[in-house]
A and B are shown apart, each in its own frame.
Chain A
């Protein structure tokens, strides 16, 4: 069993429970042991525009907590993953900043060295576990469904700090879904924004972005949309009806977390994967047998 400290972040553990449930159910089948650590705080990303130093400190602190237990970190939330990645990148280049961080961390008897590796759902599945290993566990292939992918901005950019997938032509989710037996296809709007980050000050624009993308996916004839970020999922799943109203479209597109589909293909019960919590019409398509 390969061990990872699970860094849950705030969105997944306060409202997007389905992501966490499906992660905790499906990944152990692939030989991943998820360890919960005491003391994790906010990743810092939401504070970045206000106080960059604090963002860096919070990320470094979380990484240091995992480092103390000699564990690699698994951050399923794309936004948390970005904050932690950026922290590793900055402290890897800037020795003075690293020293300053360690002075602050010393009050809690923590130390950041940068030894813990960091993974997101997509690279954990695609690069560390591997497509062949995933295929071995598929008992109920997702036959006859054509799925669109949505990667979300945080795991594709900025490429210079190292992201889990290619910034212009990401294909890892497609490879995973194909391993689960589903059909995938390219579509022009694939990299379009979900709108989530506009919610605070421009909610109308946020819903327009989501609505336009969902409408396009539906028009291209996909049976469903798959994502890996709790922010994106919230827009596409929970706010789908509203997004549809904003762009004057009737939307009924099932939206899944990648790990939910992983669990379904592995034969895990729908309830355990939190499918009941999805607000989009996920029952429109038959998946994983009954």
Chain B
């Protein structure tokens, strides 16, 4: 209970004072019950404003503070620190939001002032009833989990491990490397992608503080910031990784050699049923594909599995079973990447109708010397060199019927491929680029674009209406909006630059992680500008394309950022728990368990006392203070600190 309150009204420049009569509000507040001092200042969040509050606390021996200013989401944290250093418990502070909920929303000064008075009146009523709270301490597990072994996951793992933290890196596929491993060269510097990626992959493999869990999936995340319990499913490779040397003899021996579509080559090449996805794979171990291997699908492989025969190390083991392991970590960095839109959904572009309509990633595999054609550019249908290649940009991107957003890498990746194709095919090839706008926004990008524009390439500004099969070629009608002319392009190979979309299992995985998604399905950052790597779930950070499309440069920066955000938690021995959590009036609790059923954080359990009576108990480290149990409790036994019925109800009464 506080009976010596101070009220501090902020002008917020003119954000508040232009619509609310601050002088009148200050005068009004000074007459409220329990208020001993009432003051205003232009910027209460400034140093001078903070000192005004601190000095008043001392001078008037305040035991509670009400600040009428912007939303508590903006400055509650700041002001808690101010009152705490001034000598008042941080939770004896109440904010009256007279900016977002009053001055910004209204223009009638008289009525807005009236409303501000009501908000302050309610806040003062609640402040009189607030109790001081102490934050509990939580021990931190100083280890980190990184989910996804693409360039973002690799960078985040290395940064964290170099900082002295143990890192578990979980990768779903048999090898780390991700999308970047599939690329031939990177824009705008034309660095060989695998040449700059492989050293980092090796570093991950050899780092004493990184434990790589490849071909594994995170299936359960429980706990909270500082103390997460992770369940990981380790899929059986049917190969003993201790014994396998990665020699590849089994791959050569497999009966299904060159008969199974290669995922790594985006369907452009074939592999065996036992395989290593690409030559630089980490770990360099074989994996048996359970969907195709004859032993695993039919239980029989000719007269006996040839791979077993070929393996000198005796590493193949068809009896391997799926395993589940549990680890404890203090923070999580999510770097699960993106999927490429399947352009079949845009029927007009012919991806479903012609083998000679491919995507940029497929073209990347054709260009790559480790790709299915050894780096030769050949039309998939005829196996011949194309005389004309046409790029169509923004396929599904910036398109209300598919994806509203820009893929951010499409323009540059197409321009890069134009350069590489010119390099490989010389002037024998005619290249057309159908673009919407060329977005060359990064460092060195515009310069690269200029270089390509000078390279005898036809640029058409517009979106083709259709890619049409003709006898021995493809034909495209395009209306060029720079010249207002309709062109008919005859071409041999069409490269679609498709939209980047969230991973197919993003919805499901967001639920496992308890993180939010934005409307487009990518994982949602806590603030688009100021907390881009944080999620709303404490201790879980995001980086790379799982948050939204971005290029390698931005992905690596963001991964380092996320690692450093995670390190701020891991480098502490203990964290302060949020004290505004649920608590139980044990005498009033009937142990009905309704609260347990609504709690999404598994923070409540029923306990039995020695006298045989049961009641609910809240694990304060797990409770997020969402209030769901408080609303659900039929007897009122469940209360939330700082928002108890006896504090909220008088506030409501006073306000209205």
Q: Which A residues lie at the B interface, using CB under 8 A?
A: 159, 166, 168-169, 186, 188-189, 191
Contact = CB atoms under 8 A, between A and B. Distances in A.
B468 A188 contact: yes
Contact of B348 (A159, A168, A186): A168
A186 B346 contact: no
A188 B353 CA distance: 10
Interface in B421-471: 466, 468-470
12 contacts: A159-B401, A166-B347, A168-B346, A168-B347, A168-B348, A169-B347, A169-B348, A186-B353, A188-B469, A188-B470, A189-B468, A191-B466
Nearest to B401: A159
A166 B347 CA distance: 10
Nearest to B474: A188
Given A169-B348, A186-B353, A191-B466, 8 more contacts: A159-B401, A166-B347, A168-B348, A169-B347, A188-B468, A188-B469, A188-B470, A189-B468
A168 B401 CA distance: 12
A159, A169, A186, A189, most chain B CB atoms within 10 A: A169
Nearest to A169: B347
A168 B346 CA distance: 8
Nearest to B475: A188
Contacts of A169: 347-348
A159 to B, nearest CB: 8
Contacts of A168: 346-348
Nearest to B470: A188
Interface in B343-375: 346-348, 353
Contacts of A191: 466
A73 B468 CA distance: 37
Contacts of A188: 468-470
Contacts of B346: 168
Contacts of B466: 191
A186, A188, A189, most chain B CB atoms within 10 A: A188
Contacts of B468: 188-189
Contacts of B348: 168-169
A186 B468 CA distance: 11
Contacts of A159: 401
A111 to B, nearest CB: 34
Interface string B325-358: 0000000000000000000001110000100000
A169 B348 CA distance: 8
B465 to A, nearest CB: 9
Interface residues of B, number: 9
Interface in B51-107: none
Nearest to B349: A168
B486 to A, nearest CB: 13
A188 B466 CA distance: 10
Contacts of A189: 468
B230 to A, nearest CB: 44
Nearest to A188: B468
A144 to B, nearest CB: 26
A168 B348 CA distance: 6
A159 B469 CA distance: 24
Nearest to A191: B466
Interface in B458-511: 466, 468-470
B73 to A, nearest CB: 35
Contacts of A166: 347
A186 B470 CA distance: 13
Nearest to B465: A191
A186 B469 CA distance: 11
B609 to A, nearest CB: 62
A169 B344 CA distance: 11
A168 B347 CA distance: 6
A191 B353 CA distance: 15
A159, A168, A186, most chain B CB atoms within 10 A: A168
* A-B complex: 3 closest residue pairs judged by Cβ atoms: A169-B347, A168-B347, A188-B468
B572 to A, nearest CB: 53
A126 to B, nearest CB: 18
A150 B469 CA distance: 18
B35 to A, nearest CB: 50
Contacts of B470: 188
Contacts of B353: 186
B396 to A, nearest CB: 13
B356 to A, nearest CB: 14
A275 B453 CA distance: 59
Contacts of B469: 188
Contacts of B401: 159
A177 B76 CA distance: 69
A188 B347 CA distance: 12
A187 to B, nearest CB: 9
Nearest to A186: B353
Nearest to B400: A160
Nearest to B353: A186
A190 to B, nearest CB: 10
B404 to A, nearest CB: 15
Nearest to A166: B347
A6 to B, nearest CB: 33
A58 to B, nearest CB: 30
Nearest to B350: A188
B372 to A, nearest CB: 28
A286 to B, nearest CB: 31
A93 to B, nearest CB: 16
A188 to B, nearest CB: 4
A186 B347 CA distance: 13
Contacts of B347: 166, 168-169
A175 to B, nearest CB: 16
A159 B468 CA distance: 21
A106 B65 CA distance: 64
Interface in B394-412: 401
Interface string B583-623: 00000000000000000000000000000000000000000
Nearest to A159: B401
A247 B468 CA distance: 21
A289 B401 CA distance: 46
A169 B353 CA distance: 11
B591 to A, nearest CB: 53
Nearest to A189: B468
A258 to B, nearest CB: 22
A146 to B, nearest CB: 18
A159 B353 CA distance: 22
B491 to A, nearest CB: 14
A100 B173 CA distance: 61
A166 B466 CA distance: 15
B301 to A, nearest CB: 40
A55 B435 CA distance: 38
A166 B468 CA distance: 18
A191 B477 CA distance: 13
B18 to A, nearest CB: 35
B400 to A, nearest CB: 9
Interface string B621-644: 000000000000000000000000
A166 to B, nearest CB: 8
A169 B345 CA distance: 10
B151 to A, nearest CB: 36
B378 to A, nearest CB: 24
A243 B313 CA distance: 75
A88 B401 CA distance: 22
A188 B470 CA distance: 8
A168 B344 CA distance: 11
A67 B466 CA distance: 40
Nearest to A187: B469
A32 to B, nearest CB: 31
Contacts of A186: 353
B469 to A, nearest CB: 5
A20 B347 CA distance: 33
A272 B353 CA distance: 40
A159 B347 CA distance: 14
A162 to B, nearest CB: 14
B50 to A, nearest CB: 52
A166, A189, A191, most chain B CB atoms within 10 A: A191
